[in-house]
A = this chain, B = another copy of it.
Amino acid sequence: MESRRLQHDDHEQALEAFLLVANLLRERIDRELQRGSGIPLAYFQILDCLSRAPERTLRMSDLASHLHASRSRLSHSITRLEERGWVERASCPTDKRGTLATLTERGLSALETASPSLVQSALQHLFAQLAPAEVQQLRALSESLAAHLFSLEDEHPLD
């Protein structure tokens, strides 16, 4: 009973520390991007994802699942990115229900301007203090937890 209780406390403290650092990290990166280039992290991730796709184009649905975002959220975001001239929509030729999102030249420039200095400086700042083995630990733990969370989503989907 005692050890059961201790174990639970361990979990709770680990969870608290994890959620705290996750927030701090996201905020920090978001700020550095925002300040340096005027691009919020959420938009950056969309542009980055499109830039790696063939023809710099993806279907809304595929883009949403790559980014682990809801269709609704992505749709609103793409609307705003279209207003900035960074993304264009086109209807899918093979399936009239679908919509294709394409990264424009201007969008690519914006991404390339923002990308190198800021993300790298963030990374260097953040991981400068961790030993290579610790970086690996962090990655292994994250991937293990992510796999578990994905299996939970399959049981109880969020949409």
Contact B132 A18 (CB under 8 A): no
Residues of B within 8 A of A7 (CB): 132
Contacting residues of chain A (120-141) with chain B, CB-CB under 8 angstroms: 120, 123-127, 129-130, 132, 134-139, 141
* CB < 8 Å neighbour of A14 from B28, B124, B138: B138
Chain A residues engaging chain B, CB cutoff 8 angstroms: 7-8, 10-15, 17-28, 31, 68, 119-120, 123-127, 129-130, 132, 134-139, 141-146, 148-150, 152-153, 158
Contact B139 A13 (CB under 8 A): yes
Contact B68 A123 (CB under 8 A): no
Given the known inter-chain contacts A127-B14, A148-B126, please indicate yes or no for A27 contacting B158, CB distance below 8 A: yes
Residues of B within 8 A of A126 (CB): 11, 15, 145, 148-149
Residue of A31, A127, A144 contacting most chain B CB atoms (<10 Å) = A127
Contact A14 B158 (CB under 8 A): no
Bound complex: CA A141 to CA B148 (Å): 20
Bound complex: CA A13 to CA B143 (Å): 10
Given the known inter-chain contacts A28-B149, A136-B10, please indicate yes or no for A68 contacting B23, CB distance below 8 A: yes
Contact B123 A11 (CB under 8 A): yes
* CB < 8 Å neighbour of A22 from B10, B22, B31: B22
**A126 CB, min distance to chain B CBs, angstroms:** 7
Residues of B within 8 A of A15 (CB): 123, 126-127
Bound complex: CA A31 to CA B26 (Å): 20
Contact B139 A138 (CB under 8 A): no
Given the known inter-chain contacts A7-B132, A24-B68, A31-B158, please indicate yes or no for A18 contacting B149, CB distance below 8 A: no
